Structure 1
Amino acid sequence: MVSLNSLVSAGGRSEAAAKDRRIAELEAENERLRRIRDALIVRVESGSTHKPAPYAAFEHSVILAEQVRERTEALNLAMDELKASHKALSQAREEDATSRQRLSDAIENIADGFVLFDSDHCLIQTNSRFRSYWEHAGAPVPEVGTHIDAIKALAVTSGLIVEEQRHEDAEGVLFLLSNGRWVQMTERLTREGGLVVLYSDITDVKNSEMARRIRALEESERWIRVVTDHVPALIAYVGADLRVQFCNKVYEAWYGRNGGSPLGKRLELVHSDELYQRLLPQILEVLDGHNVTFEFEEETEQGEPRYMLRSYVPNRDETGAVTGFFVLIRDITDRRKTAMALEQAYDDLEHRVRERTAALTGLNQKLRDEIAERSAVEARLREAKQEAEQANLSKTKFLAAVSHDLLQPLNAARLFTSALLEHSFGPKAEGLVRSVSSSLDDVENLLGTLVDISKLDAGVVTPDVTAFDLRDLLNNIAREFRQMASVEGLALHFVPSSMVVRSDSQLLARILRNFLTNAIRYTGQGRILLGCRRQRDHVLLQVWDTGPGIPADKLPEIFQEFKRIRPKGAQVDKGLGLGLAIVEKIARILGHDISVSSVEGKGSVFTVRVPIGETGHRQPASPRALAPAQDRSLFGVRVWVIDNDRAICEGMQTLLEGWGCEVITAVSVEDLAAQADIASTSVDLLLADYHLDEGANGVDAVAEINGQRAEPAPVLMITANYTNELKQHIRELGYLLMNKPVKPLKLRSVLHHVVRQ
C-alpha cells in the first residue's frame, strides 16, 4: 500500500509540473500575439511617410484582420485547454490529498509501530504507536529526515531498547523495550528503494512461550525427582559454596536426621565434624575439577557400620569453571560382606584343594591309562570312518559305472520303442509298445533317481551357476509336461516369463520337473499351473495343482527320502518317494529356498526361490530349450551317427529314418570313412557318442571329421556323463549336448533347430 501511494503522489506532482509549464508557454505565446496585434493596429492607424494606395491599405488591413482573427481563435482554444488543464490539475491535487490522507489514516490505524524511510534511508513518516515508544521512554522522537542508523543508535543510548534477541527460526529481530513490552522488527523494501519498518507487539507470545518453557522445566524437574527418588542410591547436587541444592528422598532420609532436611545447608552442617573432615580432601579435589570415586565407612543413627561407595563429578559452566558437583552414594555393605565371605570361602577352598590334590594324584595315572585307551579307540574309529567314506565313494563310482553301462542298452531300447511308435501295428501291438515304452520310462526314472541320490549324498555334484533367461527353460518344460498332463486327463496352464535368474539351468529344470511330475501323479482331475512371480530381488517359480492336498502334519515329511504321502482320494503311488528328496538336496546345493503350502481337498503349491541375475550374462540356449518347429519337415536331412554300440546305431537309424532322415551309422571315424567320402559328402548333423572304444571320445572324432571338411558340420554330442566340466567343455566348443537316455521328442527338437538354422 505504501509503494502504490508513493507512486500516485509522484505521478500527481509530475503531471502538475507539466501543466504549469504548458500554461506558462501558452501565456507567453498569447502575450507575443497581443504585442504583434497591437503593433499592427498602431501601424495601420498611424500610417507612414509613404502611404500606400487606398486599395492596398484596405487589402493589407483585411489580411491583418484575418490573421488577428485566426490568432484570436488559437488563443481562445489555448485558453480553453488551459482551463481544462487547471481543472484536471485541481482534481489531481484533490485526489492526491485524499490519497495522502487515506494513507495517513491507514498508517495511523495500524496496530504496529510504523516507520517509512526514503531511498536514502532517511525518515519520512511515522505513526503514533511508534512515537509512543519514545515518549514512554522519555526519549526525543526522531524527526523527519533523520537517518535510520542515527535512530537505531538513539534507541540504544536513550534506554528505549533494553534487550535485543535474534533467532534463526524467527523473522526479524526481537527487542525488549523499556516499558517491558516485546516487539518484533521486520523490514521491507519499497519499489522506489525506500524502506518500511514495522514493530509488532509480541509480548503475549513471549509470555506464552516463557510459561510453556517454565512448565516444561517444572515437568522435567518433576520427572527427574520421580526417577531419582526411586533409585536405590543417594543422589545430590552441591554448589560451589558447598550448599546442598538438590537431593533425592534416599539422601534426605539418610542425612536429614532429627527431622531436618539437608536442602540449602552447607556440608559441614549436614555431616558431623568428624565425617566432614574425612570428606574434605575429596571435596577439595572435585572442586579442583577432578572426578573422585572412593569407598567410605559410615555409621547409621543406630551406630551400625555401613560401607558406602561415593562418586563426585564436577559441573562446569561455559567458561570451564566448576560451579558445583554431583554426588552419587551407593551402599555396598552387602557387597563387601559377600567379598569377605568369598575371601573366606577361597581360603577354605585352597585348603580343600590341597587335600584333594593329594587324593587326585593317585587318580591321574588311572586317567592317563583311560586316555591312552580312548586314544586307541579314537584311532580305530577314524579308521572305520575312512573305510566308510571309501565305501561310500566306491558305491558312488560303482553306481556311476553301472548307470553308464545300464544307460547304453536302455538308450538303445528307448530308440527302438520310439521307432516302433512311429509305425502303425494295430491297437493291441501299439498298446504293447506303449507298455514297453512306459516300463522303460520307469526304469530310466528309477535308475536316474538312484544315481542322483548317490551323487548328491557323495557331494560330487557341483552346480554350474550362470545368468540365463527363463523363457526357453519354462517354455520347453511346459511343452514337455503338457502332453503328459493331457494323457492323464489334466489341463496344464503355463504363464511364460523372460526374467533373468542366476542358477544352474539343468538342476533348476530338474526341480521344476520333479514338482510337475509330483503334481501330475497326485492330481486326479482338474488343472496344474506353472508360473513365476517376482519378490524383490528373487523370483518364485511355482507349481500349483488342484489335487487332494497334503495334511498339515505331513508337510514336514514330504521332502524326506522314501516318504510317500497318500492323501485322501489320491491314486496309489508306485514311486520310491525320492523325487521331492532330490528336490531338497538340489535346492540345498544351489542355495535356493523351497517351500510347500497345501489345503486338503483344494490343492498344493510348491515353490523354489531363485535370485535375479543380470541381463548382461545370459546363458545361451541349450538343446533342452529348443522348441520343435512342427511346420518343418525332416525329410532329406542327412545325419551321421557315431556310437561304439551297434544296437544304439541300429535304434538311432530306425528312429531317424522313420522321420524321413538319411542316416549313416558308424562305430568309428574309420568305419564312417569306409561308407562315405568325409571331405565331400554333404551332411546336416554329426551325432556322436562321447565315450567310444579304446579310450577314444566323440569330441576328438568330430574334430577329425570336421578337420577334413571345407565347412564344419553342426555337432550334437550324446553322453551319460553329467559332470559340469564336460558340459562346460562342450559349450565352449559350440556343440549341442544331450544326456542319455535320449528322449525322441528332444532329439527331434534339435533336428528342427539345425534345419531351421
Structure 2
Amino acid sequence: MSFLTRLLLLVFLALVPICALEVWNQIDLRRQRSEEIHEHARQLLSLLGGEQQRLVEGVHQMLELLAETPAAQALDASECQTLLTRTGSRIADYLTINLAGTDGVILCSTNAALTGRTIADRMHVRAALESGGFTVGEFIRQRHNGKPAMPFGLPIRRNSADGPPIGVVTALIDLGWLERYLSEHPLPDNASLLVADGNGIVLAHAPTRPGAVGSALPQRFRPLLDADTVGTAQLMGIDGIQRVFAYVPLSAGVRHIFVAIGIDHDAAMRSIDDALRRSLIWIAATLMLGLLAAYVIAKRHIYRPVAALIAATERWRSGDRSARVGAVDGPEMSRLGLSFDALAEDLDRQMRAKEEASAAFRASEERFRALVENAPHMMWVNHPDGTLEFVNAAFRAYTGRMTTEANRMDDLHPDDVEHVQAIRARAIAAGAPHEYELRLRRADGTYRWHLSRTHPIHQGGRIVAWYGGAVDIHDIHRARDAAEEAGRSKSRFLAAASHDLRQPMQSILLFAEVLRPHLTDGPGLDALGRLQHGLEILKGLLDGLLDISRLDAGIVAPQFEEFRVSDLLRSLDDAYAPLAQEKGLDWRVAPCHATIRSDRVLLGRMLRNLVENAIRYTDRGGVTVECTLQADHLLIGVRDSGCGIPADQIDRVFEELYQIDNPERDRNQGLGLGLAIVRRLSDLLDHPVTVHSQSGQGALFSVAVPLATGDRAAEPRPAEAAPAPPERGETRLAVVVDDDPIVLAGMESILRSWKFDVIAADSTDHAVESLERDGRRPDILIVDYRLRDKRIGTEAILRIRAMHDPGIPGLIVTGEIGTEPQNDALRYGFHLLHKPVTPRTLAAALSRHLAGADRDGRSPVADGAGPPSAGR
C-alpha cells in the first residue's frame, strides 16, 4: 500500500466517523428538543384553552337564563331593569349585560346609564338576530367608556325555540380584565398567550404588551387562523421573538376566537446550541491537527516531487522542449515523473509534425492566395452577416475600393438588393450554394451585369463564411436582351402582318364565292377553282401566322381532359388517308387503346402538323402513326420514309419559316410554320417532342403524352357532320358591321347571294339608325370586333339585342389575336371567327346559329318580323 493511500486512509478513519457521529447526535438532539417544545406548547394550550372555553360557556349560560325570564320574554323594560339591578351584585364587574328589542334599542342593562341607547349597528347584535343562535362577536370598543371588549349575543324567542327572535341579550367582557386574568395564570418563562377574534384583532396578550390589544395580527398568522384543526407552527410572534405556537383556529374550540400559546424557540434551544458550538470547536481543532500532520508529511513526500513537475512544465512553457522530470522520491511520484517524461516525448514529436504540416499549409495557402489574387474574375470571402473578409485584386480594381470594411451590398444596383437578399436568405437557411445574376457598380459609377456563384465554408459543423465569385456577363446579357427584343419584334411583325393581310384576303374569299353563280362556262369555273385553291393556300399560310402569334402572345390556354387516344387516331386516319393515297403513299395508323391526359384540340393540332409535314416531304414509301407505351406516358410517333433531316438541321426545323429542300419557297409546301407551332404547343402542354432522323432515311417525330390517372376515360365525342350551306335566306335579315369598306362589301355580297336581306353599316351608330328605319328584327348579327374611334363590335351586338331580343345570334369575325375578342365571346355567348373566313366556314356558322334560334322559338315569323325576303 502506497504512502498516499495510507495517509488518506488515516485521515479518513480519524476524522470522518467522529464528524459523522457528532453531526448525527446534534441533528437527533435538535429533533428531539423541537418535538418536546411542540408537545409542551400543546399541553399549555389544553390547560389555558379549556379555561377559555369554560369562560365562554359561562357567559352563554348566563345569557340563556336571562333570555328565558318573564321580563325578557315580555320585553318589559321596567321589570327587566329591576331584575338586573337586583342581581347585579352577583354579576362580575368585567361583564356588562344588555337586553334590547329587534330594533336594537337597549331596554335594560347592568349599567342603567345605557338604557335607551341603540346597539342595532353592532355586528354581534345583527349576527345573533340573523343566525338565531349564540354568537361570539369581534373586537369592539364600548361607546360609553371607550374600553375594548369582546361581545357575545343571543336572540330571545317567545314560547318556541323555532319562532322568530323578538329581541337580543348581549354581554361584553372587558378585555383589560381578560388580559389581567390571563396574566395571573402561571406561564413558563419565555412563554406567551395570544387571543384574537375572527378578523385577527388581538383580544388579549399575556404577558401584557402595551398596544397589543386591538391591533391586527401580522399576515403570517392568517394560515393559523384559517386552519381546520388544532396544531403547532413555528413563526415570529407579535413581540418579534421566534416562537413555537400551539393554536386553536377559528373553526375549532370556541368559534370565531383564536387562541395560541407561544414558547420562545431560541431560549428553549439554547442548551442544544451551546452543545453544538462546543462540538464544532472540538471538530475544528481535530481537523486542524489532522491537516497539520498531513501537511508536514505531504511537504516531504508530495510537494517536492510536484515542484519538480512544475519546474519541468515551466521550462516547456518557455520553449525548452528538452525539459524532463527525471527520478523523484516515492513510487507514485516516480511513476508520475516517468509518465510526464513520456508525454513530453510524444508532445515533442507531435509538435514537430504539426510545424511541418503548418509550413506546408502556409505554402499551399500562399499558392492559393496567389491564384485567387491574380484570377481575372472577382472573388471574395464574406462573413455570414454579409460583411467582406477578403477580396482579390480583380474585385478591388473593379470596385475601386482598397479596403474590405464595407458591406458587399454597397456595390449592388439598388433594384437588385431586395432580390439578392431574398436569395441569400433562402440559401443561408438551407446552407446551400446559390447563384444569381446582378448588377455590380464599377469604380466609375456604372453598373454591369455579373453572374455570381457563392458556396458555404463549413467548420465544426457550422457555416463560418461564404466563398463567392462573379463573372462579367454584361455583353452576354445585352445580347440576350437584344435577341429577346428581336423575337418580340418578330412576333409583333407577324401579328401585324397577319392582321393587315386578313382584311383584303377576307374580301377576296367572299367575292370569289360571289362570282360562282355568274360563271357558267368551263374555263371560267376552272379559273375560279384555281383562284379559290390559291386562296385556300394563302389562308393556310395566314392561319399559321395566326397560330404563331397567338402562341407567342400567350393567349392559348390548354383544357386538359382524359380521353382515349383511339378517338384522336381515328380522326387522323379519316382526314389524311385520302391525301396519302393521292400521293401513292402507304398509310398506316397502328391501333392503340390507351387513355391519355391532354388537351384534345391542341394535341390534335400537333399531330396534324406532324402528319402534314410527313406527307408533304415523302415522295415514296409511306407514313405510319404508331404508339409505344412507356412507364407513365405514351409515345405517339409519326414515321415517314421521306428525305430525312440532316443531323446539323434537326434543331433548326423547329424555327419559324425554315424549310429543308425548298429554296424556291414553293408555297404549296407551306410557310415553314408547322413544326414551329408543334414546338410551341409542346412547351405549352408539357409534351416533349423528340426527333430521330438521318438524311435520306426518313424521320420519326415522337410526342410524349402522360397516361390518364383516373378510373376511366371520358366518353368519346361524336363525330361532327360536315357543315351544310346555310338555309335559304328567305325571311332572314342579317346585320353586318365592319369599318373596312371592302370587307363590308364582300360580306354584303355573299349574304345577298345567299338570299339574305342585309343591312350593312360601317359603325354601330349607323347600324342602329338603319334598323330603326327598317323596323324589322334582325335574325343574325355579323360584326367586326375592332371598329373606328376605339369602338368594338361587342357594343353593336348588345345595343341591337337591347332594341329587339336578347336571343339574337351574334357572330364576331375579326383579325384580332388578343384575348379581348375571346373573352367577350365567352362572356356574352357570341361565336368567334378569325379572318380570313372561307364562305364554307361562314355558311356553317350561319346554319348552326340560325337553326339554334329556330329551335329556341325565335324565328322571325314567330316573333312577328317583317315580310320574308326573296328565295335563294
Same fold, TM-score > 0.5, yes or no: no
More helix by percentage:
1
TM-score by length of 1: 0.45
What is the TM-score with the length of structure 2 in the denominator? 0.39
